[in-house]
Structure 1
Amino acid sequence: MDWSDLRYALAIGVGGSLGAAARQLGVNHTTVLRRLDALEARLGARLFERLRTGYLPTEAGALVLEQARRMAAQADEIERRVQGRDRELTGLLRVTTAFVVMEHLLPQPLADFARQFPGIEVEVVENAFLVDLARRSAEASGSWSQREADVAVRISGNVAEHLVGRPLGPAQCRVYARRGQMDLPQTITPLATLIREAPWVGFERDAQSRVYDRWMRQHLAQSRVRVRVDIFNAAAAMIRTGIGVGILPVFMEARHPELLAVSDPLPELEVPVWMLTHPDLRDTARVRAFMQHVGDAIAVTLKA
């Protein structure tokens, strides 16, 4: 049996339709249908019921999908283990991180790393959530040949137990206001006073996935929230206008001299910055070099 055909069946099972499978695999709709038809003919069994709402696995299809998932996981494990024994300081290294980390913590350490290790090509993918460091995703060629990421740099209080890495230091937060804005506080002010009297730049009303979102919902329910945004960079942009005060990570201060802290660090918003990888990749030379050199540089910044 051709493993390539099983990948097409697995993509249909995951996406629930030919269109979703085609987008995932980077091929056209007719290619997916042709490969499915060929697989069903080879097995002599119908794998999916063609419903108006999508493709539903038959009993035979469920069995094939279960085995295909195991095969995909085993193929990924083989590749990770082989890559984990790579001793060359060359090749592609994919890093995933949040936008605020890329803008404020990564640029200089990443540039220094690129100069020191010219044989390693670093590709940074900005993603607000921790992607799967074990899973492979499909490229336009239709092959499972691109890991979502090799290394993750994350601001998070919780990390997956199966990953390895280290905390680089705490990301502290304070309340900030535009410097010289006379209708806003200009000195360190008790948090209770800021919550009660100052206008605020808040986060999305229904957001609650981050500790910052939950803090906003808990503390600013009765406050004057003039504007709501989704990420710290947008919050900083609005705070710079003088429309209100808002919380930002302390490591953003250097890039925003027009803002000043008007509160002490908020202990409940202190979250560690992690650098993580999959256990099978930690001995890969380029992964190890990146985690050491870039990780050490970020740690110094966070302690400053």
Structure 2
Amino acid sequence: MTEKKRTEPDWQDIRVFLALGRYGSLSAAARALSTNHSTISRRLHSLEATLGEKLVERRPGGYVLTAAGTHALAAADAMESAVHTLGRGRADGAPRGLVRVNAPPALSQGFLVARLARLPLQHPGIDIDLATDLRSVSLERHVTDIAIRLGRPQDGDVLARPLGRMGYGFYGVPALCERIEHGEQPVLVGFDEANAYLPEAAWLARHFPRVRTAFRANNHVAQATAAGAGVGIALLPHYIGRTATGLRPCALDLAPPPREIWLLTRRQDRKDLPMLTVVDYLAETFDEARALFDE
């Protein structure tokens, strides 16, 4: 008997397409699904053949969705959400499921990890995936479920909730701060060259163009550790400087303006119980710690 040609998409093909659409490369999609390049490519071609549409185009920077691919990704994501919804609530009404959170490295390491780790203890059905990235990741492509961003969000159809403001100050070991406050030329701890584009790094370059930077690191937690060794003073968010062992504020007149902290979610997830649970927990956590962040 001749095998009947498949006319309905295969769920495994859809999963592969979702991963490729989210991460933009065969390598990243393969890592996310713990498979290989050839499987990703084969599954993609299978889905395109089934739908009769070209879904992605290969560019030098990776794979880009076509117009048909953008439409298919939204439909595929809705299918995935529907599948997950089947298991995202218990009979007793308790939330259950994985929620992915993305936040900048220092905010994650210096504040969120210890606090978010308590949530699965309060809600045993919820699992947390906390990822850190200096650059914004895509909510639309479902790389994450919740994004915590610094600065007013520019994303499209998302729900944005303000969490507060992040103030800054200079911190160092007491002896070094005392010498600087009595007129000694400061020595800085700052960002490495790869992250010179960050607002804090650019502010330091403008206001201290001739001051030596004796130690450079890619995030504020590492900079606080270096400042604790006495190598220089670091411009730190207050939530790090105020909690770092051995550091105290240095009384310098200059400081950058505070940055707004925002929580972003997809509009379509506004009724998802595990998501709502994590969002409310994060909002309460930041509200309780407001004095740690403010000027």
Q: Which TM-score applies when normalising by structure 2? A: 0.74
Q: 2:205 aligns with which of 217, 222, 231?
A: 217
Aligned match of 1:140: none
Q: Does 1:133 align with 2:133?
A: no
1:227 aligns with 2:215: yes
Q: Which residue of 2 aligns with 1:113?
A: 119
1:124 to 124, 130, 134: 130
Specify the alignment match of 1:28 in structure 2: 36
Q: Is the 8 A contact 2:173 2:247 kept in 1?
A: yes
CA distance in 1, matches of 2:69, 2:120: 39
- Relative distance call for 1:30 and 1:285 in structure 2 (3 A) is closer
For this pair of structures, how many residues does the alignment match? 275
CA RMSD of aligned residues (A): 4.1
TM superposition shift of 1:94: 1.4
Q: Does 1:155 align with 2:150?
A: yes
Could you say which residue in structure 2 is the equivalent of 1:76?
A: 77
Matches within 5 A, 1:198-277: 198-205=186-193, 207-263=195-251, 268-277=256-265
Task: State the distance in 2 between where 1:36 and 1:285 align.
Answer: 32
Offset at residue 198 of structure 1 (A)? 0.8
1:255 aligns to what SS in structure 2?
coil
Superposition deviation, residue 117 in structure 1: 1.4
Match of 1:141 in 2: none
Shift of 1:36: 7.1
Cα distance change of structure 1 residues 45 and 227 upon mapping to structure 2, 3 Å threshold: closer
Gaps of 5+ in 2: 1-6
The one-letter code of the counterpart of 2:215 is V
Tell me by how many angstroms 1:156 deviates: 3.0
Q: Is the 8 A contact 1:201 1:226 kept in 2?
A: yes
Q: Which has the higher contact order (CA 8 A, sep 6+)?
A: 1
SS at match of 2:144: coil
Question: Which amino acid letter does the alignment assign opposite residue 105 of structure 1?
Answer: F
TM-score (structure 1 length as normaliser): 0.72
Summarize the Cα distance change of 1:81–1:162 in structure 2 as closer, same or farther, 3 Å threshold.
Answer: farther
- Equivalent pair of 2:139/2:266 in contact (CA under 8 Å): yes
Answer whether contact 1:168 1:274 (CA < 8 A) is retained: yes
AA matched with 1:74: A
Q: What is the rounded CA distance, in whole Å, between the counterparts of 1:211 and 1:41 in structure 2?
A: 46
Unaligned runs of 5+ in 1: 137-147
Deviation at 1:226, TM superposition (A): 1.4
Who is 2:177 aligned against?
185
- Aligned counterparts of 1:118 and 1:45: Cα–Cα separation in 2: 42
